[in-house]
Amino acid sequence: MAAVAVSVAGLLTLSACGGGDKQDTAGGPAAHKKVEVFSWWTGPGEADGLKAMRDIFAKENSNFEFFDAAVAGGSGDQARALLSSKLQANQPPDTFQGHAGAELQGYIKSGKLESLNFLYDELKLKDVLPQQLIDQITVEGQVYSVPVNIHRSNVLWFNPSVLKGAGISGAPKTVEEFVADLEKVKKSGKIPLSIGSQWTLVHLLESVLLGSLGTDAYNALWTASSDWSNANVTKALDNFKTILSYAGTPQDDWQPAAKQVADGEAAFNIMGDWAYGYFHNPPEGGLGKESKKDFDWAASPGTDGTFMWLSDSFTLPKGAPNRDGAIAWLKVAASKEGQDAFNPLKGSIPARKDADQSLYKDYLSWSLEQWAGDKLAGSIQHGVVANDTWRTAITDAVGLFQQDKDVAKLQQALVAAAKNSGQ
C-alpha cells in the first residue's frame, strides 16, 4: 500500500512538473494571448523570412504575441520528432509547420488537425491558389493546411564551363540525353554527377521517375490504382541505376554536393531550388557565385513543363490553446502581404497566384513563371505524395539499393512499400 501511495505521489509530482513546463513556454498568466508557432526555420534566409511575417503579424494583431517555438535542423527531422510526441500527449502548439500533402496524413487520420475549409471560404483562398495544388492537398473534401511557399524539386543544376569543357552545348532535355552527357563529362575527367547523403538519392530518384515515366504516370503512382510493378517503372529504375553509376563519392549532405558543381569539380547536381540561395547568396550563408555564369539550371531531364513541388504550410491543431491567435497567424500566412514578405527572403515562391512579380528575381522569376504554366507533380522526399511510412520505406529501399545496385530488388521493395503504406 505504501508503495502505491509513494508511486502515486511520484506521478503527481511529475505531472505537476509537466504542467509547470507548459506554463513556462506559454508564459504564465498571459498565456491566452501568446501564439506558439512551431517551425524548423532557423537557418539563414528562412529565419529572416519568418521574422518578416512575424512583423506583419505583430502589426495586425496587437492583442496577440508571437511566440517562436522553432526547432533547429534541416528538413525538420528533429522538429517533427518533438512535434509528434507533443501531439501524442495532446499538448499541441497553436500552429505548426508541416510539408503540405501526405506528410500530414497521419495527423489528419488520427484527428489531430482541424479542417481549414472555413478559412479557405472566408479568405476565398480557392480563387487565389492554383486548382491543382488544392486538389493535391485535399483529403476527402477537406483542406488541413495553408501553404505559405512553393519550392521546386526537379531542378538540374550545372556548371556551364564544365559542360563546355566536355563539349556539351546545353542542358540535357531527356533522360537519354542526360546519360549521354554524363558519359561525355566522365571522359573529360570531371565528376559527372555529384550526390550527397542518402536522402539526396531519394530526391534524385523522384526526378528520374518523373522524367522517365512522364507526369501522368508519375502522379498515378500515388493513387489507389497505382502499379509499381510494371515495365515502365523497371525502365525508370534502370535509368536511375545508370545515372547513379556516374555519381561521384557521396558527400556529407546536399551543400557539399552542390559546392562541387559551383567549384567546377562536378558537372551536374539534381537538387531542390533551395540550392539557388546557397549558390547565389554572399559568403556567410552561401557561395557568392554568379548565376548563369558560375552555375546555371534547367528542369531536370525529361521533366520540362512539370513543376515537382513541395510546400511549407501551417496547420490548426485540434485543442490549440489559443485557437483565435492561431487563426490570426494562418491569415497572415495565407495573405499576399505575408507571402510576399516571406518568400523573397526564404528563396521560394508564393503559393498564391497574385503575388507581386517584381519582388522575385533571377531564378525565382523563372520559377514563378513555370509555376504559373506547368503541370504539377508532388515530391516524394519532401512529403507531398507519400505519407511518412511510405516515404521511409522508399528511403530504406534506396539506401539498400545504393549498396547492392539490384534493380529487381529495389522494385520489389517499392511495390511492397506502396502496398504497406496504409495511404
Please count the other Cβ atoms lying within 10 Å of the Cβ belonging to residue 21. 11
Chosen residue from 25, 110, 232, 245 binding other proteins by CB under 8 A: 110
Q: Per CB under 8 A, does 422 bind other proteins?
A: yes
Exposure string over 133-154, b if 16+ CB within 10 A, otherwise e: beebbeeeeebbbbbbbbbbbb
Q: Per CB under 8 A, does 251 bind other proteins?
A: yes
Q: Per CB under 8 A, does 109 bind other proteins?
A: yes
Show the site string, 378-407: x = touches other proteins by CB under 8 A, - = not: ----------xx-xxx-xx--xx-xx----
Cell 472566408 belongs to residue: 122
CB of 97 to other proteins, least distance (A): 17
Instruction: Judge contact between 312 and 99, C-beta under 8 A.
Output: yes
Q: Which is nearer to other proteins, 27 or 256 (CB)?
A: 256
Q: Which is nearer to other proteins, 80 or 346 (CB)?
A: 80
CA distances from 169 to 172, 247, 249 (A): 9, 21, 26
Q: Which is nearer to other proteins, 80 or 151 (CB)?
A: 80
Binding segment (CB under 8 A) for other proteins, from list 104-112, 180-188, 319-327, 347-355: 104-112
Please count the other Cβ atoms lying within 10 Å of the Cβ belonging to residue 169. 7
Q: Which is nearer to other proteins, 145 or 251 (CB)?
A: 251
Instruction: Judge contact between 222 and 315, C-beta under 8 A.
Output: no
Q: Per CB under 8 A, does 145 bind other proteins?
A: no
Q: Which is nearer to other proteins, 142 or 402 (CB)?
A: 402
Sign of CA dihedral 83, 414, 100, 423: negative
Three cell numbers, residue 233: 517503372
Q: Per CB under 8 A, does 6 bind other proteins?
A: yes
Q: Per CB under 8 A, does 81 bind other proteins?
A: yes
Three cell numbers, residue 367: 520559377
The secondary structure of residue 42, as a DSSP letter, is -
Sign of CA dihedral 84, 90, 93, 96: positive
Q: Which is nearer to other proteins, 4 or 231 (CB)?
A: 4
What are the residues binding other proteins (CB under 8 A)?
2-3, 6-7, 10, 77, 80-81, 84, 88, 106, 109-110, 197-198, 249-252, 265, 388-389, 391-393, 395-396, 399-400, 402-403, 422
